[in-house]
Structure formats: structure tokens, C-alpha cells
Amino acid sequence: MNARVRELQLAAMILTRLPAGRIDGDAPPISASVWAFPVIGAAVGAIAGIAFVAAGWIGLPALAAALFAIAVGTLATGALHEDGLAGEDHRRQLQLADPGVHPSDTPASAKVAMPL
């Protein structure tokens, strides 16, 4: 398998919950796959964008379609990035209170979307 394809595959494995198959042999170093991070981000954004358009196409109001798109993006990434809204202090408190609790267990995006 081409080295670039393996690096792209590794980036997908690190950044998303999307099925990316298995890497045969030795996995490339993460530093070698950094170039693929924006590509994977664009793919996740495209998935969320398609979800937004589909939700609007079936007649959901814009707010509901946007929340649906956020939920789809959150599922695609496994909520790996939503903890950034919580702030460093909140993450540290969660980790100190229970090392088994990962910040993605309580994504802050749900807290942001609730008042809407």
C-alpha cells in the first residue's frame, strides 16, 4: 500500500470514528500523517454539510437542521473535539475527579446547544 494512503488512513483512525480499515505492517508515525489532518477535517465537514442539506431537504427548520448537522459531526469524530468548548479547567477537574472519565463523555456542544 502506498505510504500516503497509509498516512491518510492513520489520520482518519486518529481523528474520527469512521471505519478506516486496518494498516498492514508497521503504521507510519503520526508526525508523517499530519499533512492529512485537514483532508480528514474537510471530509468530516462535508459529512456534516450533507447532513445539514439533507435535513433541510426533508423540511426541518434551519435551527433543527443545524443541530442535526452538529450531532452528525460529533458522531463522526466521536466527540473528540467538542471538549474544547468546556475549557481547560473543566477538563482538568473531570480528569482529576475520575481518571476514567474522558472529556468527550460530556461534550460541551450539548451545553451550548441546549439554550437554543
| Global pTM value | 0.70
Domain membership flag for residue 39:
yes
| pLDDT tens track for 39-98 | 999 999 999 999 999 999 999 999 999 999 999 998 998 877 565 555 555 555 555 555
| pLDDT tens track for 47-60 | 999 999 999 999 99
Domain membership flag for residue 98:
no
Number of domains in the chain: 1
Q: What is the DSSP string of the chain?
A: --HHHHHHHHHHHHH--S------SSPPPGGGGGGGHHHHHHHHHHHHHHHHHHHHHTT--HHHHHHHHHHHHHHHHTTSSGGGGT-HHHHHHHHHH-TT--GGGS-HHHHHHTT-
Whole-number pLDDT of residue 116: 47
Domain membership flag for residue 26:
yes
Domain membership flag for residue 17:
yes
Residue scoring higher pLDDT (77 or 1): 77
List the domain range (segments joined by +) for residue 20.
1-61
Domain membership flag for residue 27:
yes
Domain membership flag for residue 48:
yes
